[in-house]
Amino acid sequence: MLEQAKLHDAIPFDAPKIEAIKPNHRGSRCSFEAILEDYAVADMALQKLALGVRAADVKGQESAAPEGIGLRSTAHGSLLWVARMRSAYFSSFLSTMPCTLMCKATDEF
């Protein structure tokens, strides 16, 4: 991750197992809060949003903001949707593979 970030002149974040990455969870606080802190962002709207992100992202911090459960549910639902779409795509692709292989092998299109 660090190599890719350097290659793309990017700032990696939210990778708690990589000590060199500083914008990470800090105690009960989420990476979004770390980013706000590191860049001295004091905007109250973003601070409030950060509480919602913490409630959604950090296990045991669900009570930090009531919006957190909705944000977590939305994110979880999105991941399930992506997984289903990916599964449906590959199933469709695999079902046409024998024909594709046969056509290429016989040069029939």
**Does residue 54 belong to any structural domain of this protein?**
yes
Q: Is residue 34 part of a domain?
A: yes
Q: Number of folded domains in the chain?
A: 1
Contact between 69 and 55 under an 8 Å Cβ cutoff? The reply is yes
Confirm whether 107 is domain-assigned. no
In angstroms, the first-to-last Cα distance of the chain is 43
More confident residue, 109 or 68: 68
The residue range of the domain holding 23 is 2-84
Whether residue 109 lies inside any domain: the answer is no
The whole model's pTM is what?
0.66
Average pLDDT, the chain: 82
Whether 101 is in a domain gets the answer no
Report how far residue 26's alpha carbon sits from residue 49's, in angstroms, rounded to the nearest whole number. 17
CB burial of 99-108 (b: ≥16 within 10 Å; e: otherwise) equals: eeeeeeeeee
Whole-number Å distance between alpha carbons of 63 and 50: 13
CB 6 within 8 A of CB 20: no
d(CA 103, CA 88): 23
For the stretch 49-100, pLDDT in tens is 999 999 999 999 999 999 998 998 888 887 777 777 777 666 665 555 444 4
